[in-house]
Amino acid sequence: MINVLIVDDDAMVAELNRLYVARISGFPLLRHRIDAE
């Protein structure tokens, strides 16, 4: 199992990445962050 952390300053790109990772088994999303600061 590989844990995933998504950090992006573009909300749309972060959401697309979150949706993509959610479709792949064995890659649980720990957190996602949409703020560059």
pLDDT of residue 35: 67
The reported pLDDT for the residue numbered 16 is 93
pTM beyond 0.75: no
Q: Write out the H or E segment, with its range, that includes residue 8.
A: none
Residue 1 and residue 26 in contact, taking contact as beta carbons nearer than 8 Å:
yes
- Mind giving me the DSSP string for 20-37? HHHTSTT--EEEEE----
Query: Residue 32 in contact with residue 3, Cβ under 8 Å?
Result: no
- Cβ proximity of 32 and 9 under 8 Å: no
What is the extent of the structural domain holding 15? 4-33
Into how many domains does the chain fold?
A: 1
User: pLDDT tens track of the chain, all 37 residues?
Assistant: 888 888 888 889 988 998 998 898 888 877 766 765 6
